[in-house]
Structure 1
Amino acid sequence: MRISMAGLSRLAIATAFLVPLGAPVAVQAQHAAAQRVERVRVIATGDLHGSLAPYVDARGYRSGGLAGTAAAVEQARRECVAPACVSVLVDAGDMFSGTPESDLTHGRETVDALALLHYDAIAPGNREFDWGLDTLAARVRGARLPLLGANVHMQDGSAIAWLRGDTLLRRGGLAIGIIGVASQLTPQATNPDSVSKLAFEDPATTVDARARALRARGARVIVVVSHTGVRCEGNLYAVATGAPADRCAGEALGAIGRLEHPVDAFVGGHTHQRAVIRLDSTLFVSSAANGRSITVVDIPVDARGYARREEAVASSRAVDDKSDAPHVAAIDSIIALATARATAYLAQPVATIGEALERKGGQYTLGNLVTDAQRWAGKADLAVTNNAGIHASLAAGVATNKAVYDVQPFGNILYKLTVRGDAVRAYLEAVVGADSITRHVSGALVTYDPSRPVGSRITSLRLADGRALSDSATYTIVMNDYVRPMVLERVLGEAVLDMSSLPMNDRDAFIAYLKQLPQPVRERSEIRIRAVSSSSTSTGTSR
């Protein structure tokens, strides 16, 4: 009997060597059936943000970190026993930027450690672009990371040499296609100068085109890994699985809903939320930030290898002290070296804090202090920052570089804008028109009546020196590169007369500001955006 090897799939080749050629046809068929892949396991991580070491809270409870993440990943791999189960490992992006261990070398240790886990696909997050395209290219090439951004290309339409769009893997003879996409909103969530030469296309359109091409090449299972996320009503971190799609919204669900043909799993990130959501027949999953969880999706496949996506199941697994999975020694060694390098820097004192400054509620003293630092750094009339950019409290006593890093881990770029007073007022009307106050302001005191219509709620708007804001005057205002794009798009737009970046980021501004204050630092408690009843109606605005 002559057998043409070219005509056999890899699975058939393996079977040909394992089963005697003279065996009855029924025996060969039974053996092939026993060897076929029955399940594809997708192991997903995301939003690591350079968290090589675990987070340790005041109780000594440890969670997250790359060491624990690696252990959880390897445990999930061991559970997937071939030939019935094959696995792929993907990451939803934002690998680095956010901890001194990672930031001091622009992510070198982070990508070296990730490379040891042998990822199959990584989506580009907005933080991947923080240090510019050259640095990102060097990290991708140096660690041979499988970064996939199918919807990202140069403004002139040309491809990016180090950024692929998809990959076709063969596991146990089964063809698995993986498509990577970035958020279309990436330019609004990173240093705009870093991505000014790039174009970010609609993820849904891109996925449809790539999926068709992968299926034409033989892919039986299609997985999307993206840096797009969702936000849901209620506490999704606690309700990590089974969140109904009608309680959730976001770029990821929008993309899934626009697909012409469903994919078999859609992995997301960016919003830092643990989520398992079924939209029609497709599961969307995302993991908690800083390595605090991984997500495992099991997709059954039929006898022909096609995914039975409707039967797919997913679980969100916490990474914490309760895990007993063995660590990966080589990754632990990289983390130890990075931690040792950062220790001296982290231990340097910045200032003495007189009383604990807690991150609690909508308006708090620490938020005022952070915003004051930004106004001081820009020598501006006003400053505004987002509450979500303040990540930790400051304890009383000596505040070190580590303490400041915990408060502002990302080092956001600061911009100074010159605008007319009426534009400032319009922006602050948008702030007080929201369901809750999620901004801190420096250089102004704002009172508003929440019972009034949105757009006319402000009852008083005075500058720090007590003068009423004048609609016809011009003012300078500082904001970070997260707030700035939303403000420009939704409120200020053409009202901006001038704009420039500051020579220091928000964290460096906070450090410098704390150092020059009288010690110990005692910040006066003050509510700068205050709700009042309709009986208090002083406008405090000059028009």
Structure 2
Amino acid sequence: MRTSDGIKKNLLLTLILAAACGCARNDQAVIFATARTRGRIWPHGAEGPEKAQTGGFAVLKNLYLRETLPKLIVDSGGWFSSTPEGFLTRGKSTIACMNAVPYSLAAAGMDDLSLPPRELCKLAATAGFPVLASNLYLKTNKKPGEFASYKLLQAGKHKIGFFSLIISNPARPNRAKYLPSYKLEKETYEAGKAIKALKDAGAQMIVLLANINPKTSAKPEFYREFLSRVPRIDLIITDDPAVKKPFKANRSWIVRAGLGMEDAAKITLDIEPASGRLAKAHWEALPLPVKEYGQAPDVMKVARTYRAAADAHFSKRIGFLSEALPLAENGSSPVAEFAADCIKTWAKANAAIISVSEPAAGFSSGPVTVAGLYSAFPLDSSVVFVKIRGDDLESAIAGMPPSEISVSGLKLFLKDGALERAETKTGPLVPAKAYHLAVPDSMVNGREHTVLTNAMEFANSRRRLREIVGWCFSRKRTLSRPEGGRIVRN
């Protein structure tokens, strides 16, 4: 018979073993993740009647410091383009605030590749943390010097390996992509290389920062197909807003980073103690209210410096409008027509064509500031010089929906919604005559436009459309709205 002491000893042993197993099951670490911050270093007013201040790296730092589990904080790129600070510093303000948090690691995003290689490398060099771009190459097939292909980090006692992929088109994956200044290598090829290197370095868990082209979206099938072709990845942190909730594909967890400094993703990792592999990922999107977390003074000091410089720069007056230039009016875009006139004059061209999607806003009458210029033309499109025969130009215009373009130096006559003929001030286009045309590069980079198909010559000016519109404002004390009636519908 078992004595009462024996029963107590067995019960105590059972409890100890259960506790030990419980501790093993609860081995945890945390990854905080952000993406597409786009220069939003400062809190902004939230929606709602109280309009409480929310967002910003100073709030994020206080949230991060509260976490008691072993932790890392990572970012998936998209460092400028939507705010005055981002426009002015070309991402430097974002990296400076990330240094002050400090971040553990970051990766370049698709939007960041609008910077030329030298500028992008200089930006990455200012980071006090590793910056990844695993499948990014220069046109020379060399890796940009300031970027790493992978990095091994420690969260408590666990070794976590990171790599990143910039995915240009999830609908047509695993193909090399050639950009104006860069090359994106095939995703599976670079993933295989990075995972092997991380495993050889002792990584117990593999994390991918997946940077999806903001102009596209990745369906769950993309992740499943990708994961079926590469060695095991434990966790994918994507910057795709289409991923609303975590899901599992193969043996991997797919979660979304916090976007736009509206929130931060908190990913709690349940880790198998023996193998160090990921057992489960718990995901939360945490808002960043100033009232709840406060703001870290050291980060605020950095942010204020950039904010003050941006305010001074963007408040500068560059011109005056006697009449408003609305974004859309009676089926046309006066602000797009104004921009078309600007690039035609600047380029000394016979004509100019721009997409009505180039401007994001119009101009009010009265003083025009640098801030207004950036609000109206937020894209970094540059102007391209094109030499083209009259018949080829008319054919190219015929292939463009009339409602989607604005012209200068041309009058388009439509019949039943289709182009009947195009004329200059001197009459119809002459088929064999060479015309000098100015267009934004956004009209020649995509397959939907055919301007360059039969062009005789073309060259990128490397001057931004926004700069040229600013040049127009600086030439005259007062400007009025452009002449309308450029597209005649019968």
Normalising by structure 2, we get a TM-score of 0.78
Partner in structure 1 of residue 439 of structure 2? 479
What SS is found at the alignment partner of 1:225? strand
Partner in structure 2 of residue 399 of structure 1? 368
Q: Does 1:68 align with 2:55?
A: yes
What SS is found at the alignment partner of 2:446? helix
What displacement does 1:344 show?
Answer: 3.2
Q: Does 1:179 align with 2:147?
A: no
What displacement does 1:447 show?
Answer: 6.0
369-378 or 35-44, larger mean C-alpha shift: 35-44
Q: Distance in 2 between matches of 1:420 and 1:386?
A: 21
What SS is found at the alignment partner of 2:450? helix
Task: Write out aligned runs for 1:263-342 (5 A).
Answer: 263-269=233-239, 273=241, 275-276=243-244, 281=249, 282-283=253-254, 285=256, 288-289=259-260, 291-302=261-272, 304-308=275-279, 312=281, 314-316=283-285, 324-342=292-310
Q: Does 1:498 align with 2:457?
A: yes
Aligned residues: 466
Q: Is the 8 A contact 1:188 1:485 kept in 2?
A: no
Partner in structure 2 of residue 368 of structure 1? 337
Query: Per the alignment, do residues 326 and 503 of structure 1 end up closer, same or farther by CA in structure 2, a change over 3 Å counting?
Result: same
Query: Per the alignment, do residues 308 and 138 of structure 1 end up closer, same or farther by CA in structure 2, a change over 3 Å counting?
Result: same
Structure exhibiting the larger radius of gyration computed from Cα positions: 2
Q: Distance in 2 between matches of 1:491 and 1:444?
A: 18
98-107 or 331-340, larger mean C-alpha shift: 98-107
Query: Per the alignment, do residues 490 and 523 of structure 1 end up closer, same or farther by CA in structure 2, a change over 3 Å counting?
Result: closer
Q: Is the 8 A contact 1:155 1:199 kept in 2?
A: yes
Q: Distance in 2 between matches of 1:280 and 1:428?
A: 47
Code of the residue aligned with 1:266 in structure 2: it is I
Q: Distance in 1 between matches of 2:286 and 2:335?
A: 33
Query: Per the alignment, do residues 283 and 143 of structure 1 end up closer, same or farther by CA in structure 2, a change over 3 Å counting?
Result: closer
Task: Write out aligned runs for 1:150-229 (5 A).
Answer: 150-155=134-139, 157-184=141-168, 192=180, 195=181, 198-215=182-199, 217-229=201-213
Query: Per the alignment, do residues 339 and 73 of structure 1 end up closer, same or farther by CA in structure 2, a change over 3 Å counting?
Result: closer
Q: Distance in 1 between matches of 2:59 and 2:410?
A: 48
- The superposition leaves residues 396-418 of structure 1 with CA deviations (integer Å, 9 ceiling, x where unpaired) of 32111121122223543222122
Q: Does 1:146 align with 2:106?
A: no
What displacement does 1:461 show?
Answer: 4.0
Task: Write out aligned runs for 1:256-267 (5 A).
Answer: 257-259=225-227, 260-261=229-230, 263-267=233-237
Partner in structure 1 of residue 173 of structure 2? none
Q: Distance in 1 between matches of 2:442 and 2:434?
A: 23
Code of the residue aligned with 1:285 in structure 2: it is R
Q: Distance in 1 between matches of 2:290 and 2:165?
A: 33
Q: Does 1:467 align with 2:436?
A: no
Task: Write out aligned runs for 1:404-423 (5 A).
Answer: 404-423=373-392
- The superposition leaves residues 275-320 of structure 1 with CA deviations (integer Å, 9 ceiling, x where unpaired) of 426676252535544x3444444454445442246xx45454556x
Partner in structure 1 of residue 23 of structure 2? 34
Query: Per the alignment, do residues 201 and 187 of structure 1 end up closer, same or farther by CA in structure 2, a change over 3 Å counting?
Result: closer
Code of the residue aligned with 2:190 in structure 1: it is T
Q: Is the 8 A contact 1:365 1:526 kept in 2?
A: no
Code of the residue aligned with 2:471 in structure 1: it is A
What SS is found at the alignment partner of 2:208? strand
Q: Distance in 1 between matches of 2:44 and 2:485?
A: 31
Code of the residue aligned with 2:465 in structure 1: it is D
Identity of aligned residues (%): 16
Q: Is the 8 A contact 2:386 2:436 kept in 1?
A: yes
Partner in structure 2 of residue 357 of structure 1? 325
Q: Distance in 2 between matches of 1:43 and 1:102?
A: 22
What displacement does 1:32 show?
Answer: 7.4
Partner in structure 1 of residue 466 of structure 2? 507
Q: Distance in 2 between matches of 1:332 and 1:116?
A: 9
Q: Is the 8 A contact 2:29 2:156 kept in 1?
A: no
What SS is found at the alignment partner of 2:303? helix
What SS is found at the alignment partner of 2:302? helix
Q: Which runs of 5+ in 2 are unaligned?
A: 1-11, 170-175
- The superposition leaves residues 260-283 of structure 1 with CA deviations (integer Å, 9 ceiling, x where unpaired) of 1464443344x8x57426676252
Query: Per the alignment, do residues 36 and 258 of structure 1 end up closer, same or farther by CA in structure 2, a change over 3 Å counting?
Result: closer
> CA-atom RMSD, angstroms?
4.2
Query: Per the alignment, do residues 521 and 257 of structure 1 end up closer, same or farther by CA in structure 2, a change over 3 Å counting?
Result: farther
Partner in structure 2 of residue 111 of structure 1? 95
What displacement does 1:518 show?
Answer: 6.7
What SS is found at the alignment partner of 2:444? helix
What displacement does 1:148 show?
Answer: 0.5
Q: Does 1:49 align with 2:38?
A: yes
Q: Does 1:122 align with 2:106?
A: yes
What displacement does 1:516 show?
Answer: 3.2
Partner in structure 2 of residue 92 of structure 1? 76
Q: Distance in 2 between matches of 1:146 and 1:29?
A: 41
Q: Distance in 1 between matches of 2:201 and 2:345?
A: 58
What displacement does 1:509 show?
Answer: 0.7
Q: Is the 8 A contact 2:166 2:213 kept in 1?
A: no
Q: Is the 8 A contact 1:37 1:172 kept in 2?
A: no
Q: Distance in 2 between matches of 1:184 and 1:514?
A: 36
Code of the residue aligned with 1:45 in structure 2: it is T
